[in-house]
Amino acid sequence: MKNIKTINLGKGINLTLIPEEKFKTNLVSIYIQRLLDKEEVTKNALLPAIIKSGSEKYPSARDMAAHQDDLYGVSIGADTSKRGETQVITFKIISTDEKYLDEKIFKPVVEFLDEVVNHPLVIDGGFKEEYVEIEKQSLRHRIESVINDKGRYAIERAREEMFKNERYGISDLGYLEDIDKINGKDLYKHYQQIMKTSPIDIVVEGNFNEEEIVNIISNGFNFEREEIIEIPRAEFKKKIEEVKAIEEDMDITQGKLVMGYRCNVDYKDEYRYYSLLVGSSVLGGGPHSKLFMNVREKESLCYYIYSSIEKYKTSMFISSGIERANYDKTVKLIKEQLENLKDGKISEEELLNSKSALISSLKTIKDSIGGASDFYFSQHMGQTNTTVERIIEIIEKIMVEDIVDAVKDIELDTIYFLSNSKEA
């Protein structure tokens, strides 16, 4: 992808332009960064849905929908996500490319997004309590749904225990016990502070004239700004003194094993980081991997098994569904497979399949609108600014010895096991 440009608009606001002609739509995304903080994380999780519920000009869902129809059916989305130790609040608007229309709509589309984000519906100095209560209930259901999805719950609990004294251990969905404390007035004051002090990235993806778009974005968004908070880089190195082993009992039919590792690799060291990524794929990246072939297929110890890397903390999690009786044997075999990886016992087939899987995944980033926006925001946020094409070039060159160097400092930090003790 060529000619991607990032422009500093001042006051902690950056604009990234991603030209792409193959889609019939254009996308404008606003990414707002906050440090994960137990005191505000639940409030932040509530904000996206409340903000897109209504604005000063369009106070109801009906008014919002009518104006979206006037703009040829633009679609607005909003959510929060966790990237390392940062909670990101995102607002997006997708509109039809002007070349398919009889009129220019990009300017009114940007003005509509500005209206939603910078002029939310406020009644008596706060968000409309009716909307707040609806979204509080919705957030409760989302948090409770994590508990119902035992595989996801186990990973979240493993993260919480492994990073107990670090921001990464904080849930980006927030906490049930904090929901009832929130009201419309306090939440609006908090939102005002966020919009004044947070780093903001605006990303435009689609078919556009650069000069025209820069002018529309610069004049179309009216952010009130104060002193901008700093988002420090997350610590990614840690020496493990003692492995934590946590068991949790629950009435479930299948045990969930999660093993958390510190990789101690700087993600800004591109070649080493992507060698780590290939190593994780060799270890547990799919049906071609060591864990799948040896733990699941050969020994039949688990229902599923895979490994994944968290970029900003360069941590690795191995997740598996097992019977309680197979716990010791599974843990032992997982450790053995990681040692084989560290020893460079990697076949040509494992290496090629792992690289091929990662490259195929990278190529899908450009298959739908929005993939490139999220990718390049993440690159900018991590101060790496690497292109998809450059990453593919790096991965293609990675050899076994590069993987050995990248995985040599991986250390086991936490073993978390969720099971039903009645099985014993």
Task: Report the pLDDT value the prediction gives residue 423, as an integer from 0 to 100.
Answer: 61
Task: Report the pLDDT value the prediction gives residue 79, as an integer from 0 to 100.
Answer: 96
What is 244-423's CATH number? 3.30.830.10
Spatial distance between the Cα atoms of 305 and 286, rounded to a whole number of angstroms: 9
Q: Does an H or E element contain 413, and which?
A: strand 411-419
Spatial distance between the Cα atoms of 293 and 296, rounded to a whole number of angstroms: 6
* Strand 5-10 versus strand 13-19 pairing type: antiparallel
Residue 421 pLDDT grade (very low, low, confident, very high; cuts 50, 70, 90): confident
Spatial distance between the Cα atoms of 134 and 140, rounded to a whole number of angstroms: 10
Task: Report the pLDDT value the prediction gives residue 2, as an integer from 0 to 100.
Answer: 61
pLDDT greater at residue 423 or residue 217: 217
What is 5-220's CATH number? 3.30.830.10
List pLDDT tens digits, range 136-164: 999 999 999 998 999 999 999 999 999 99
Task: Report the pLDDT value the prediction gives residue 208, as an integer from 0 to 100.
Answer: 92
Task: Report the pLDDT value the prediction gives residue 385, as an integer from 0 to 100.
Answer: 85
**5-220 and 244-423, same CATH topology:** yes
Counting runs of H as helices and runs of E as strands, what totals does the chain give?
A: 15, 13
pLDDT > 80? residue 424: no
Q: Where are the domains of the chain?
A: 5-220, 244-423
| Mean pLDDT, residues 16-36 | 96
Contact 88, 80 (CB under 8 A): yes
List pLDDT tens digits, range 13-24: 999 999 999 999
Residue 3 pLDDT grade (very low, low, confident, very high; cuts 50, 70, 90): confident
List pLDDT tens digits, range 267-321: 999 999 999 999 999 999 999 999 999 999 999 999 999 999 999 999 999 999 9
Q: Kindly report the average pLDDT of the chain as a whole number.
A: 95
